[in-house]
Amino acid sequence: MTTFDPYAPSRDTTEGKVFSVTGGDWDSLVQEIGATKEERVVVNMGPQHPSTHGVLRLVLELEGETITEVRCGIGYLHTGIEKNIEFRNWTQGTTFVTRMDYLSPLHNETAYCLAVEKLLGITNDVPERASVIRVMMMELNRISSHMVALGTGALELGAMGPMFFAFRDRETVLEIFEMITGLRMNMAYVRPGGVQQDLPEGAYTKIREGVKLMRKNFKDNATLLIGNSIWMKRTQGIGYLDLAGCTTLGITGPVLRSTGMPWDLRKVQPYCGYENYNFDVVTADTCDVYGRFLIRMNELEQSLRIIEQCVDKLEKLHGAPVMVADKKIAWPAQLALGGDGLGNSLDHIREIMGTSMESLIHHFKLVTEGFRVPAGQAYAAIESPRGELGASIVSDGGTRPYRVHFREPSFNNLQATPAMSEGGMVADIVAAVASIDPVMGGVDR
């Protein structure tokens, strides 16, 4: 027996001997496990483990280094967002859904707003400029999300350089977000009926410069990883999932496209006017981690193309409204930058406080009580960076959602972990999970 380790004791249970691992005790652990006769070892990976992509817990049954069974434990980040929304008005709902999948907040908001607009019957009344801004913001968000997927994915496989480049480029996007919405994440920028405010002065220039910079910078990661023999050995043929596996498991997004299926909701079921943009659906036919990696790399360029087209359109639409004309739905105040930071525009304050009693009542009713949404249910699906993000919303005709459910691609796609990793090596499950790119905020909601 080895010396007693007070921080990593072992104890006998009915299921067998249980070892606690705290780090730095590898030698003593190996000795102790070697002393047992058991061939089969159950390893608990996570929920606090650097390579499980957030608070994901994986229970692995191992024989040697081969995984015989995987189970995922989730729920560690469950915050009851769907329940909470039922107690707020429809506009406040955006501030909740934006916090679900925290790497793609604008996709969550847009899916939610598209479903609410469907219930309100105003889908065609949303101004064109608002739709173009939504598309542009979503594509910027796709870049920032893919950057985390690529950077952390590479980091988890031991490549540190790509993460630095990825987070440098992500910063470019986040600065644009900060300029337009005031926030780097959880913006609540997309609102039922349009967007919260118009682009600030200088936004076109900043976005154009950002696109130019990113197009140049993306080459760094491409040269580091594409064709890199270590990277290819870690990713090629790993995490295999074919088309039949994807359809039965309901997998969408880059994982589905890595089977050669050109399924992208932006093309096949366009929303927000995606049919008016030129871009390609990126696919691969390898069904493995490398294919998904290549898809994400190439989707970056497609997103840049869409963003450039958006800026062109926005310049032509300069000054057009960004919110529906219906005053019973549109937020009454326009925000303006005052001396003390963001606030209501002084013109609006002057109107409601000084000149029009009716405006004051209208403002008060809409802000405190909110608008009513006709009863019924709607499902709106968009292509988030991880796959089909669907918002199922039920209204009872009141000022608050009756039920909001998000069909989260992370939640669904994480089910593919056993199919991708059982029979493989322990080290490969890290690559497989990274290629699914689950965001635990979205999984647990």
Interaction residues for another protein, span 305-344 (CB under 8 A): none
Under rule CB under 8 A, residue 95 binds another protein? no
The phi-psi region of residue 224 (left if phi > 0; otherwise alpha if psi is between -120 and 50; otherwise beta) is: alpha
Task: Yes or no: say if 24 and 14 are a contact pair by the CB < 8 Å rule.
Answer: no
Interface residue with another protein, options 10, 28, 228, 269 (CB under 8 A): 269
Q: Binding to another protein by residue 274, rule CB under 8 A?
A: no
Which is nearer to another protein, 62 or 249 (by Cβ)? 249
Under the criterion CB under 8 A, does residue 248 sit at the interface with another protein? yes
What is the sign, positive or negative, of the torsion defined by CA atoms of 299, 301, 305, 310? positive
For position 400 contacting another protein by CB under 8 A, the verdict is yes
Among 398, 422, 425, 426, the residue binding another protein under the rule CB under 8 A is 398
Cα separations (Å) of 26 from 184, 228, 379? 40, 31, 51
Supply the minimum distance, in Å, between the C-beta of residue 263 and another protein.
6
Among 28, 217, 228, 247, binds another protein (CB under 8 A): 247
Site for another protein contains 396 (CB under 8 A): yes
| CA-closest candidate to residue 434, choices 221, 158, 181, 247 | 158
Beta bridge partners of 344: 335
Stretch that binds another protein, among 62-70, 219-227, 349-357, 395-403 (CB under 8 A): 395-403
Report if residue 399 touches another protein, rule: CB under 8 A.
yes
Of the candidates 22, 63, 87, 342, which one interacts with another protein according to CB under 8 A? 87
Q: Which is nearer to another protein, 76 or 167 (CB)?
A: 76
In residues, how long is the chain?
445
Site for another protein in 46-85 (CB under 8 A): 74-75, 78, 80, 82-84
118 in contact with another protein (CB under 8 A) = yes
The nearest distance, CB 77 to another protein, in angstroms, is: 9
Cβ at position 246, least distance to another protein in Å:
9
* Spatial distance between the Cα atoms of 126 and 194, rounded to a whole number of angstroms: 6
Among 251, 304, 314, 430, binds another protein (CB under 8 A): 251
CA angle 426–432–436, rounded 5-degree value: 150
Query: Among 174, 154, 106, 112, which Cα is nearest to 385's?
Result: 106
239-242 long-range CB contacts below 8 Å, 24 or more apart? 239/288, 239/289, 239/292, 239/420, 239/421, 239/424, 239/428, 239/431, 239/432, 239/435, 239/436, 240/287, 240/288, 240/420, 241/287, 241/416, 241/419, 241/420, 242/287
**Quick one: residue 330, left, alpha or beta (phi over 0 = left, psi -120 to 50 = alpha)?**
beta
As given in the structure block, the two tokens for residue 19 are 């070892």
For residue 15, what are its two tokens?
């299921």
Which residues, numbered 355-394, are part of the site for another protein (CB under 8 A)? 365, 368-370, 375-379, 381, 388, 390, 392, 394
Taking the complex as a whole, how short is the minimal distance between the CB of residue 396 and another protein, in angstroms? Answer: 4
Is 437 in a helix, a strand, or coil?
A: coil
CB of 44 to another protein, least distance (A): 15
Residue 14 makes contact with another protein by CB under 8 A? no
Burial class of residue 85, CB neighbours in 10 A (0-12, 13-18, 19+):
buried
Give the total of residues touching another protein (CB under 8 A).
52
From 1-9, 113-121, 232-240, 323-331, span contacting another protein (CB under 8 A)? 113-121
Query: Which CB, 105 or 390, lies closer to another protein?
Result: 390
Q: By CB under 8 A, is residue 124 in contact with another protein?
A: no
9: closest CA among 392, 17, 229? 17
Residue in 168, 407, 422, 426 binding another protein, rule: CB under 8 A: 407
| Candidate residues 367, 415, 423, 427; the one interacting with another protein per rule CB under 8 A | 415
Q: Rounded to whole angstroms, how far apart are CA atoms 37 and 31?
A: 12
Cβ proximity to another protein: between 118 and 129 the closer is: 118
DSSP H helices in 58-202: 81-85, 93-97, 105-120, 128-156, 161-181
Binding residues for another protein, rule: CB under 8 A, are 74-75, 78, 80, 82-84, 86-87, 89, 118-119, 121, 247-252, 261, 263, 268-269, 365, 368-370, 375-379, 381, 388, 390, 392, 394, 396-400, 402-403, 405, 407, 411-412, 414-415, 444-445
